[in-house]
Amino acid sequence: MMGISIAGFDPSGGAGIISDMKTFAALGIHGTSAITALTAQNPKKVFSSLAIDTDYIKEQIDSIFDEYGEYISYGKTGMLYSTEIIKVVARKIKEYNINMVVDPVMVASAGGNLAKEEIAKSIKKYLLPHCLITTPNVYEAELLSKIKINNPDDAKEAILKIGKVSNVIITGGHLGGINTIYNKKGDKITTISKTLFKTDNTHGSGCSFSAALAGFLIKCNDLDISIKKALDFTEINIKNGRYGTLNQSYNFE
pTM, to two decimals: 0.95
Q: What is the mean pLDDT of the chain?
A: 93
Question: Phi/psi of residue 18, each to 5°?
Answer: -65, -45
> What residues have CB less than 8 Å from 195, skipping those under 6 apart?
177, 235, 239
Average pLDDT estimate for 94-102: 98
Q: Which helix (H) or strand (E) holds 167?
A: strand 167-170
252 within domain boundaries: no
Average pLDDT estimate for 197-206: 96
Q: What is the pLDDT of residue 118?
A: 78
Q: Is residue 244 within 8 Å of 205, Cβ to Cβ?
A: no
63 within domain boundaries: yes
Instruction: Report the percent of the chain where pLDDT is more than 70.
Output: 94
Q: Is residue 156 within 8 Å of 138, Cβ to Cβ?
A: no
Say yes or no to pLDDT of 222 above 60: yes
Distances (CA, A) of 33 to 211, 231, 236: 12, 23, 25
Count of the separate structural domains present in the chain: 1
* Alpha carbons 150 and 51: distance in angstroms, whole number: 33
Average pLDDT estimate for 185-195: 95
Q: Domain of residue 209: give its range.
A: 2-242
Q: Is residue 106 within 8 Å of 119, Cβ to Cβ?
A: yes
251 within domain boundaries: no
198 within domain boundaries: yes
Instruction: Indicate the range of 43-52, 89-98, 164-173 predicted with least confidence.
Output: 43-52
249 within domain boundaries: no
Question: Phi/psi of residue 135, each to 5°?
Answer: -125, 55
Q: Find the helix packing angle between 138-145 and 152-162, rounded to 10°.
A: 50
Say yes or no to pLDDT of 96 above 60: yes
55 within domain boundaries: yes
Question: Which tens digit of pLDDT belongs to each residue from 114-165?
Answer: 555 678 999 999 999 999 999 999 999 999 999 999 999 999 999 999 999 9
For β-strands 30-42 and 2-9, DSSP reports them as: parallel
- CA angle centred on 77, ends 72 and 79, rounded to 5°: 150
Question: Which tens digit of pLDDT belongs to each residue from 2-37?
Answer: 999 999 999 999 999 999 999 999 999 999 999 999
Closest Cα to residue 139, out of 149, 130, 129, 131? 149
108 within domain boundaries: yes
CATH for 70:
3.40.1190.20
250 within domain boundaries: no
Q: What is the pLDDT of residue 107?
A: 52
Q: What is the pLDDT of residue 112?
A: 45
